[in-house]
């Protein structure tokens, strides 16, 4: 869309003024070209009446029907009150009639059309009275009416397309905002799992450190190394997540932060080993035909086990935990059981961890259930993660 089109659309009075000047120039031509000797001279009175028919056109958008009536009245004065040169076309009347067809509501538009085509017959009769002039007048005014209706249709269509484009833009903006909200929630869950797990391990080892220094100095060094390892692992994973965020920021790039694959079932062995360093005995069991999982499902499986063991270390007071992964053609079921103090009393809340696990499972169409373990002892978490089908290969 050009700047000229935008300027004219924003200020339509400029278009109306330009049209008026153009019509005035057209009706002036017969007054300035030489006339045949047998014809009367064009005088200023005739020119003034011609200009009077053009003068209402700047207001044609505000009052289309009134402008048409004013033009017809001025034309009648010129026809019966002056002996000036004729016009090749009734320019003011055509412009006014076109505007009525384009802008007026149906009742006024149809009434104006009936009036116009009624006026044509006596106008032709008082001029030449020839059928050729009658047919020509009916044709040009009919064409003006059709062009007005086509203009109205085109403008309505353009307005509908603009409204549709605006609606699509709003819908895309809402969808983008929802996607951003989902991504923020996902990153919040990731950071919660990483930090909660790392801090729990470091706190557990730090609390055991003073005891180890007094009773078994050789174990104190292992405790401090476990604290450092948990911190390094947390920093690596956080740096990877922040690198993903930084890629979309101004000035960010793919090389701004080290990148590493998201953890999956193959990384559970290292996770369980770190948890064992806190003193919790962790048993790892696998059932069913082990197969590779989609990356997103594998990461969720890792985070589920990580969050479950973090809660066990922080809240359960347990000595043993069992992590069981059961594979089948429909997906993966994860069960984490401990021998601790069991589920918290109703109404005390369980923090954001269990809520985050349910959200993670629901994102894959799965479920997460938690409660007191078998025989009323300990705590059990069961998460089902469906997949479309087993992939080739074996997950670690």
Give the model confidence (pLDDT) of 265-293 as tens digits. Answer: 888 888 888 888 777 889 999 998 888 88
138 domain residue, yes or no? no
- Residue of higher predicted confidence among 182 and 6: 182
217 domain residue, yes or no? no
- Residue of higher predicted confidence among 73 and 41: 73
222 domain residue, yes or no? no
pLDDT confidence tier of residue 389, bands split at 50, 70 and 90: very low
Sign of the C-alpha dihedral, residues 301, 302, 307, 312? positive
Q: Domain limits at 85? A: 3-129
pLDDT computed for residue 99 by the predictor:
93
359 domain residue, yes or no? yes
* Mean pLDDT over each residue of the chain, to the nearest integer: 79
Last residue of a domain, one of 113, 129, 145: 129
240 domain residue, yes or no? no
pLDDT computed for residue 239 by the predictor:
67
Compute the average pLDDT of residues 298-315.
84
Per residue in 59-75, pLDDT (tens digit) is 999 999 999 999 988 88
What CATH code is carried by the domain that includes residue 270? 3.30.565.10
Sign of the C-alpha dihedral, residues 351, 352, 356, 358? positive
384 domain residue, yes or no? yes
Q: Cβ atoms within 10 A of the Cβ of 154, count?
A: 11
Last residue of a domain, one of 112, 129, 146: 129
pTM, full prediction:
0.51
Compute the average pLDDT of residues 138-167.
92
Contact 376, 342 (CB under 8 A): yes
355 domain residue, yes or no? yes
Q: Cβ atoms within 10 A of the Cβ of 197, count?
A: 26
Last residue of a domain, one of 101, 129, 157: 129
Compute the average pLDDT of residues 339-352.
61
- Residue of higher predicted confidence among 329 and 383: 383
Residue 395: is its pLDDT beyond 50? no
pLDDT computed for residue 392 by the predictor:
37
Q: Which of 73-82, 287-296, 366-375 has the lowest mean pLDDT?
A: 73-82
Q: Regarding beta strands 331-338 and 379-386, do their DSSP bridges make them parallel or antiparallel, or are they unpaired?
A: antiparallel
Compute the average pLDDT of residues 123-130.
82
Compute the average pLDDT of residues 308-337.
87
104 domain residue, yes or no? yes
Q: How many domains does the chain have?
A: 2
pLDDT computed for residue 390 by the predictor:
42
């Amino acid at each position: 869309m050009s700047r000229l089109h935008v300027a004219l659309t924003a200020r339509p009075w400029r278009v109306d003024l330009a049209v008026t000047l153009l019509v005035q120039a057209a009706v002036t031509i017969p007054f300035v070209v030489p006339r045949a000797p047998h014809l009367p001279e064009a005088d200023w009175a005739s020119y003034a009446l011609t200009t009077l028919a053009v003068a209402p056109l700047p207001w044609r958008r505000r009052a289309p029907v009134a402008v048409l009536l004013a033009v017809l009245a001025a034309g009648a004065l010129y026809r019966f009150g002056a002996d000036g040169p004729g016009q090749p076309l009734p320019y003011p009347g055509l412009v006014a009639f076109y505007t009525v067809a384009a802008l007026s509501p149906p009742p006024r538009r149809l009434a104006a059309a009936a009036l116009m085509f009624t006026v044509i017959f006596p106008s032709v009769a008082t001029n030449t009275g020839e059928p050729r002039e009658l047919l020509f007048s009916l044709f040009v005014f009919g064409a003006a009416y059709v062009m007005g209706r086509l203009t109205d249709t085109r403008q309505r269509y353009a307005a509908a397309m603009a409204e549709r484009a605006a609606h699509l833009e709003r819908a895309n903006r809402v969808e983008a905002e929802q996607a951003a909200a989902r991504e923020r929630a996902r990153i919040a869950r990731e950071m919660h799992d990483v930090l909660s797990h790392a801090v729990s391990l470091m706190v557990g080892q730090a609390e055991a450190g003073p005891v180890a220094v007094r009773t078994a100095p050789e174990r104190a060094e292992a405790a401090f190394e476990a604290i450092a390892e948990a911190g390094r692992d947390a920093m690596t994973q956080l740096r990877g997540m922040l690198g993903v965020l930084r890629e979309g920021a101004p000035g960010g790039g793919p090389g701004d932060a080290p990148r590493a694959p998201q953890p999956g079932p193959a990384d559970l062995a290292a996770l369980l080993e770190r948890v064992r360093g806190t003193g919790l005995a962790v048993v790892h069991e696998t059932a069913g035909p082990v197969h590779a999982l989609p990356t997103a499902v594998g990461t969720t499986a890792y985070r589920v086990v990580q969050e479950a063991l973090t809660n066990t270390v922080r809240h359960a007071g347990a000595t043993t935990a069992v992590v069981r992964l059961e594979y089948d053609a429909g997906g993966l079921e994860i069960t984490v059981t401990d021998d601790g103090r069991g589920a918290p009393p109703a109404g005390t809340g369980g923090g954001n961890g269990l809520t985050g696990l349910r959200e993670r499972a629901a994102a894959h169409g799965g479920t997460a259930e938690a409660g007191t373990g078998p025989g009323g002892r300990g705590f059990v978490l069961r998460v089902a993660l469906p997949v479309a089908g087993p992939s080739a290969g074996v997950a670690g």
